[in-house]
Amino acid sequence: MKKTLCTLLAAVLLLPLCFTAVAASGLELPEVPIYDVNFTETVTDVNVPYVTGGVYVYTNDTNAEKAFDSITYHFSSALLFVFAKDGRLIEAGSSLLEKKGCVQEAINVPAGGFAVAFPSAKTNLKNCWDHAMEGAMLYNATLAVVRQVYGTFDSSAKKLNVRYNKPKAPSATAKKYLFVGNSTTYVNGNPLKFRALCEAAGLEVTVEYCTKGSSYLYQWADETDECGKKLRGLLNKNKYDFVVLQDASGAGKDSSLKAVAKLVPLIKANGATPLFYMRYPDKLPGTSQFKEQVSRFNDVYSTLAETYGTKVAPVVNAYARCAEKYPEINLYADDAQHHSKAGSYLIAATWLYAFTGKDPVGNTYTADLPADTVKKLQEIAKNAVEVPYVEGDDGSGIPNFVASDGTIYKPVSVGKDYTRTGIPYTEKYEDSDGKGGYLGKMTNGKFALAGDSDAAIGCFKGAKTTVTVDLGEVMAVKAMLTDLWGCPGWKIGDPASANVTVACSVDGETWSSETELTYKELSVEGGWKKSNFSGELDAFTDARYVRFTFNISGNFCWVSETVVYGSEKEIKPKFKPGDINGDNTLDAFDYQMVKAGVLGSYKPSAEELARMDVNGDTAVDAFDYQMVKAAVLGTYQFD
């Protein structure tokens, strides 16, 4: 009996615990769970190169993660499992290529864990693999497993035990998502992570793949293409709630628009709603190609979302901002083109917030990533959805300003000197160097993403604080932007109760009247409220000095950036409208020149051509001629 009990307890240490009352003794002893599937396989060998047909185990008895590369261990024809130290299956996949520069070059076994390589002919293991993969599309890599599978390896007996429960069928109310795209969608199991995040957020969803490596949306839109046939087959066979579309990185805007124009009617005929996955760049951050793709993807996918009145997940912006804010997080796989496990989590978290409205911050599903990494990725995903992209935003933290007339203005304050009032708070919230100088937090081009853990924050004591930015020379100032944080637990006042104004000066002595900035709440998380204050001047104001004044409710001004937008000088017309020949006189010579230019009997210079386009539609035609002629005759007046 004693031996039996010891054996039972030893087995229990390797398994999740269930408890049942023992009537005879009145004690509660752990009971070994009964699994739907529980089997044992004989292991061929340990820590040696894989040979097709056998079952091989790769152990890690160190205190750090250990990599087994495919070039050495020959995983190109194997199905793969990776188990954690506690026996949980954390990754599954297959066929790692035996070369450098591929998506995944090695299986990474955590400390105390082990990996298994095996052939599809091993029926029990293959069934378990199918269960873990959940129908995921995958080539030459592993992905994070969501379903619970447990395994133990007896090295002395060379026996592998695996056990799991079969999944319950989804309820009739589960929301059904179909993902259409290429490896940007399926690598690392993005849809599975999305499902797991949804489940942790209290949402029941199912996910299904309609993907092919390197495919374009025009292929899925083409009814004669194998991709198009597959998609139509799924739409005819199944009903979906949402269909998520993602195009290739090389797709032009016109190609994407034409393809989606064909796909959306098919999706709506199914009863589903189209959604757009604004993919990440396949070029590394810091390159001109990366910046170009950030801009292009925003243009294409935002146009699609606006055209069809649906949601878009701005993953490209999450990537750009994460790369700038947390460069220590590697978002790319071994090939430096596809996404890593961390990148996959960021994608799924952005989908969660963009598609369902569920806040990713604090979500308990982690995909076995470090807690601090998960927190950062969740915050970035939320920021990407909440803070819109404007042209020029490549992750630097300071977007350009889009004026009410659509004109784009760049920040002119980044890196400039400033002075401020108020007593600085200590530690990482300090903005002075202890020698009378400032660290530059207020103009370093970086907005904080968190109130309590971000070193970009500056804190000043007092109910009124001013930050005066010195632009270094007189510039034409057009707009301003700053942030403000609040937290009742830290006794930092609510930004909604604050008053933030701006004044301008050429000499630092005579100031313009105060302009009040407009409050906008961005987010509330962990007790912290983040907000922006922004404003646009009616006209350019010449200024070298721009003073931000924070009047707050409380005694701590919590702010990370003060931004001034404008240009070196105000842009004014170089000529009077209609004065084609530039003689400062509007007369018959001008409308004759426009007429000749329209008819093609006169070839105008570039400057004359620009002057001929008086209605600003970028074309010189009869409308321009008629406007100039009417102005000369006195029946029309240019503004």
- pLDDT band at residue 11 under the 50/70/90 scheme: very low
Measure the CA–CA gap between 57 and 157, rounded to whole angstroms.
13
* The two structure tokens encoding residue 58: 């790769």
Residues 214 and 297 in one domain: yes
The CA–CA distances, whole Å, from 372 to 326, 455, 457 equal: 11, 15, 19
Residues 152 and 180 in one domain: no
Give a yes or no: residue 240 inside a domain: yes
Question: Each residue of 74-118: pLDDT tens digit?
Answer: 999 999 999 999 999 999 999 999 999 899 999 999 999 999 999
Give a yes or no: residue 37 inside a domain: no
Characterise 488 by phi-psi region: left (phi > 0), alpha (psi -120 to 50), beta (else). alpha
Last residue of a domain, one of 567, 585, 605: 567
pLDDT at 205 over 70: yes
Give a yes or no: residue 169 inside a domain: no
| Dihedral angle, C-alpha 538, 539, 543, 549, nearest 10 ° | 0
Instruction: Give the helix ranges, DSSP H, for 326-402.
Output: 341-351, 371-386
* The two structure tokens encoding residue 258: 């034409």
What is the domain count for the chain? 5
Question: Each residue of 341-359: pLDDT tens digit?
Answer: 999 999 999 999 999 999 9
How far, in whole angstroms, is CA 119 from its chain's centroid? 37
Residues 199 and 324 in one domain: yes
Domain that holds residue 284: 175-386
| Confidence (pLDDT) at 313 | 97
- pLDDT band at residue 16 under the 50/70/90 scheme: very low
Here the CATH number for the domain that contains residue 199 is 3.40.50.1110
The more confident residue out of 19 and 561 is 561
- Written as one letter, the residue type at 52 is T
In sequence order, the 6+-apart residues with CB closer than 8 A to the CB of 192 are 134, 136, 143, 144, 145, 146, 207
Least confident residue range of 204-218, 385-399, 599-613? 385-399
Measure the CA–CA gap between 244 and 264, rounded to whole angstroms.
11
| Confidence (pLDDT) at 610 | 75
Measure the CA–CA gap between 501 and 562, rounded to whole angstroms.
12
Measure the CA–CA gap between 79 and 60, rounded to whole angstroms.
19
Measure the CA–CA gap between 536 and 42, rounded to whole angstroms.
72
Residues 367 and 480 in one domain: no
pLDDT at 8 over 80: no
Give a yes or no: residue 391 inside a domain: no
pLDDT at 17 over 70: no
Last residue of a domain, one of 542, 567, 592: 567
Last residue of a domain, one of 351, 386, 421: 386
Nearest to 245 by CA among 355, 154, 150, 353: 355
Residues 419 and 365 in one domain: no
In sequence order, the 6+-apart residues with CB closer than 8 A to the CB of 64 are 111
Measure the CA–CA gap between 438 and 173, rounded to whole angstroms.
57
Between 315-325 and 288-308, two packed helices, what is the crossing angle to 10 degrees? 150
| Confidence (pLDDT) at 304 | 95
* The two structure tokens encoding residue 64: 């750090």
Residues 247 and 316 in one domain: yes
Give a yes or no: residue 577 inside a domain: yes
Highest-scoring range by mean pLDDT, 17-26, 212-221, 574-583, 600-609: 212-221
Residues 63 and 27 in one domain: no
Here the CATH number for the domain that contains residue 497 is 2.60.120.260
Give a yes or no: residue 210 inside a domain: yes
Measure the CA–CA gap between 260 and 267, rounded to whole angstroms.
10
- pLDDT band at residue 590 under the 50/70/90 scheme: confident
Residues 553 and 416 in one domain: yes
Here the CATH number for the domain that contains residue 591 is 1.10.1330.10
Give a yes or no: residue 607 inside a domain: yes
Q: Tell me the three state secondary structure of residue 420.
A: strand
Neighbours of 47 (CB within 10 A): 13
Nearest to 418 by CA among 509, 546, 532: 546
- Written as one letter, the residue type at 59 is T
Residues 14 and 47 in one domain: no
Specify burial of residue 445 (Cβ count, 10 A radius: 0-12, 13-18, 19+): middle
Backbone φ and ψ for 497, nearest 5 degrees, come out as -95, 0
Nearest to 81 by CA among 71, 70, 69, 93: 93
Residues 142 and 94 in one domain: yes
Residues 65 and 122 in one domain: yes
pLDDT at 435 over 70: no
Residues 265 and 339 in one domain: yes
Rg (CA), the chain: 31
